[in-house]
Every structure is written in C-alpha cells, then in structure tokens.
Chain A
Amino acid sequence: MSALAVLLPRQPAAVGSEWGAARMPSALRSRKTIAALAILGAVWTAAAWAAAPVDRPSVLALAVKWAPLIFGGFLFNLLVSVAAMALGTAAGVLLGLAQISLLRPVQAASWAVTQFFRNAPWLVLLFFAMFLLPFEWRIGGVTVPFPAWLKAMLGLALPVLANVSEIVRGGVLSIPLGQWESAESLAFSRRQILWRIILPQAVKRMIPPWMNLYAILTMATTLISVVGIQDAMTLTRGALVAEARTDLYLPLYFMLLLMFFAYCYPIARYTQVLERRFAVRG
C-alpha cells in the first residue's frame, strides 16, 4: 500500500501548479515515456516466454484468454471513478463555496470537514464507508438493498469531495482582490460578484487540478478490491489463482497497468496542456 503516498500528492491548494511543468519539450517527453513502457513490456513478455515450458499454453495465449474479463473489470473501475467523481464534485463544490462563506460557523464547519477528509488515507475512508453504512435501507415498509459497490463509490467520493472543496476555495482565492473591490464599488452584491465575476474566472484555474484529481481517483479505484469488490484488480488476481502459473504474474499485472495507463496518461497530458495555456495567459 505504499502506492498511497503517490496517490495523495500534497497539491498546492491554489492552482496553475508548476510541479508538472515541462522541462523537456512535451512531444519528446511523451514519446520517451511511451518508448520506455514499450521496452519494459517487451522485455517482460520475452522473459516470461523464454521461461514458459513447451507443454503448457504460452503466457501470451493465457493473457489473451483473460484479457476480456479483466477489461470488463477495468470498465467497472471506470464506472466507479466517474460516479465517485460526479458525486464528490457536486458535494465538493458546495463545501468549497461554504468555505468562503462570510458566516463564521458555516466557514469553520466546512473547513473542518474538508481538512478531515483531505488528510485521511483513502483506504481508511473506504473501510469507514463500507462498515459504517448499512447493507440495506428501510424506507417506510420497503427494504432497499445498499450494495457494496455503491458504498465503495461513496467511500471514494469522500476524499474527492474534500479535494474538490480545496480546489474551489483555492481557485476563488487565486482571483486578485481588486476584482472583488471593483465589483463591490459598482454595487454588485456578494452573490453577484461570486457568480458573475469571480467564479467564471476561477473555473478556468480549477479545471487542471480537478482533472488531475480525477486521474488520481481512477487509479485509486483499484483500492475497492481490498474491500472485496469484483473490480479489475480482483479479477486479475482471480485469473492468476485459477491458472496457478507464476510466470503469468508480471504479464497480467502489466496488462492491467497498461489499461490504466492508456486511460490516465492522456488525461494527465491534457491537464498539462491546460496548465501551460493558463500560465501563458497569466
């Protein structure tokens, strides 16, 4: 679980971060990344092949056999990521706006909730949601089941909500005070200033860190395998148990990595493009 440290970078609350800033020309860098991955994959596959005994199906054949199932699981991970992101974003925007409220109690409460969930390990939040939420709801006389995957999605939405809350707060605070002051001098109300002047400018700055968060969340969806949900990770492990072949471990996990990479890498690239575009506009 040391991967969690990577999953949770301490982003600057504000935006337009430099930590992703390109030192190398982007095309060169992206080609290098992909080339490195291709070589790594080729070496692994070749090594596995060389090690495979002749009387058994080849590693490649087995990988092809299990690929559709694992890909199905991967699509489920994506579904969870989209749902958790949508929910976390909706709640996080409200929480972020509450953080800039002029009402002290509202501000303090939303700040506390944000900090609590932002500084909790995602896996712990996931367990928290799995065991705290009931497995069914009783609404009136009807019993509505509350499936585990839904609970897991809620569990992942918690850190998303807290991070979105900070992105919103940081985005709003990144707009110069002069904008507030001149709008105030033109007799705009606070609500008008926020919706007509501050947020339209701030949203542009919020999008790159928000996309970054989404890529992180997508990778973190594999955590749900730990709480017993049949995601791509669980299915991969299942396939390995079924085949009982140690030479299959690396190729199958590598295939899974490639699926996530193919999905997350373009998002990360596009995030950088947006960040750079924003940086140029100042």
Chain B
Amino acid sequence: MNPGHVLGAPIVVLNRVEKRFGDNPVLRDVSFSVARGECVCVIGPSGSGKSTLLRAINALVPISAGSIAVDGIEVNDPKLDKLALRRRVGIVFQQYNLFPHKTALDNVMMAPIHVLKENPAEVEARARALIAKVRLTGKEAAYPGELSGGQQQRVAIARALAMNPKVMLFDEVTAALDPETKKEVLVTVRELAAEGMTCLLVTHEMGFAREVADHVYFTEDGVIVEHGPPAEFFGSPKQARTRAFLDQVL
C-alpha cells in the first residue's frame, strides 16, 4: 500500500470486456478501473489472459465486446486515434523488444522524434535524463546486445516514458530476469509508482505486488476471480481458487 498517495478519478475503465481468439474465450466479462496515480497489480496463472488484457488496453489486439476507455478515449471505437491513445499509454514487455540496431539513447529518442516530431535537441536532453532516472548513465551509446537483461528492460521503460504517457502497462517485465537483475527493474517500477505514475502491472512477484500495489486482481481463465487491497487480498483471500493459487506461488 502507498499511504499518503491520493488517488484521482478513473483513467482506465474497462466495462464488460470480452475477447475471443476464434472459439477460445480469453477474456470474459472483465470490468475494472484504474484511478489516476493508482498502481494496480494483476496476478494469475499463465494463459489466463493477462497479456491479452494489457494489449487490448493499448489497442494492440481488438476486443470482441464491451468497452475500454483510456483518459476518455474509446479504445474500441473503429475511428480510434491510435496516436492519441498510444502517447497516453506506455507498455513494457517481458522480452524487452528493444530495437537491436539502435543504441540505448536512440531507442529512447526514436518515437518522440519520428512520431511526435519533437525537437531532437530537446528530446535528447529528456532521453538522457530518463536514462539517468533508470540508473543507466554511461550506457547511452551501448547497443541492446551489449546490455544485460535488466539493463535492457530499464531502457525499455525509459523508452516508454519518453512519450510522456499517463499510464504505464508492465507485462511480466521481470519474468525473463534472474533474481539479481529483477531487483534493479523492480526498484525502477516502484519509484515510478511512488512518483504517482498510473501503473497497471502483470506480475508474478507477490512480494512486490503486496508492497507496491494499491489494488490487486486475481484472474483465471479470463475472469476476475477476486480483487482487493493487498493487505486483504493476501491476508485473507475469500475464494478457494485464489487460496490455491497463492499457496502454489508463495
């Protein structure tokens, strides 16, 4: 929990979202909202639709029914302004997905320069500050192949932040990392949350969720089984399925 952390109005609102891949229902009647400045963690077994959920919020996959709104933008609208949506939403993936032919600094600078058409000098100053913020000063000229997994993931976070998003989505960003480098990335995410960035993160790090989240959701087979503030959720889970999952991972 983040005491002294004032939550604002909802910025991400999902209402009865359904997603099917062919006959396979991946999200079923999912409704929830994330308030401005809130840090929400989603946990659940693999295959339960968590990645699909985050991708749907960023319009990377279309949903089958229901609605998603981000900062007032209807994501499911056929006339969606993708640029408007995506400059508000940053996403970081499990596999980093840095551009391997660009240096760390260029990875961070590319989108603001080519998408937002901002002044390169200003973008560079901002990119250098972001690289410092994720504790990678000195690695500006390194190519992704020359960085460790944890370092690459922090460049990916800086790259998403360079668009000045209002919401950050994290999809199991530490799942591919060893315990040591995990910590570096989690520290960065925790700082962001503490600064008041709205975060929606899918994670298997229960300790981290307990400590940082304002609200925790447990999903299984595309439905939200249970949710609540972390103390309650982890302290006295009500559903048998939640208890079974927590017993397994804790």
Q: Please give the residue numbers on chain A whose beta carbons come within 8 Å of chain B beta carbons, in ascending order.
A: 176, 178-179, 181-188, 192, 196-197, 200-201, 281
> How many whole Å from B36's CB to the nearest CB in chain A?
21
Q: How many residues of B contact A (CB 8 A)?
A: 26
Quick one: closest B residue to A201, CB to CB? B101
Contact status of A187 and B93, CB under 8 A, knowing A196-B110, A196-B114, A200-B101: no
> How many whole Å from A200's CB to the nearest CB in chain B?
5
CB-CB contacts below 8 Å: B114-154 with A: 114-115, 145
23 A-B contacts (beta carbon < 8 Å) = A176-B97, A178-B93, A178-B95, A179-B99, A181-B60, A182-B91, A182-B98, A184-B86, A185-B60, A186-B86, A186-B110, A186-B111, A186-B115, A187-B83, A188-B111, A188-B115, A192-B115, A196-B114, A197-B99, A200-B101, A201-B99, A201-B100, A201-B101
A196 to B55, CA, bound (A): 23
Q: Which residues of A contact B145 (CB under 8 A)?
A: 281
A181 to B111, CA, bound (A): 14
Scan B48-75; emit 1 where CB is below 8 A from any A CB, else 0. Answer: 0000000100101000000000000000
Q: Which residues of A contact B100 (CB under 8 A)?
A: 201
Q: Which residues of A contact B160 (CB under 8 A)?
A: 185-186
Of A179, A181, A281, most buried by chain B (CB within 10 Å of CB) is: A181
Q: Please give the residue numbers on chain B whose beta carbons come within 8 Å of chain A beta carbons, in ascending order.
A: 55, 58, 60, 82-83, 86-87, 89-91, 93, 95, 97-101, 110-111, 114-115, 145, 156, 159-160, 163
A166 to B156, CA, bound (A): 32
* Cross-chain contact A184 with B60 (CB below 8 angstroms): yes
* Cross-chain contact A187 with B97 (CB below 8 angstroms): no
For the complex of A and B, the 9 pairs showing the least CB-CB separation, nearest first, are A182-B97, A187-B86, A186-B111, A178-B97, A185-B91, A187-B115, A187-B83, A200-B101, A178-B95
Quick one: closest B residue to A175, CB to CB? B100
Q: Which residues of B contact A185 (CB under 8 A)?
A: 58, 60, 86, 89-91, 160
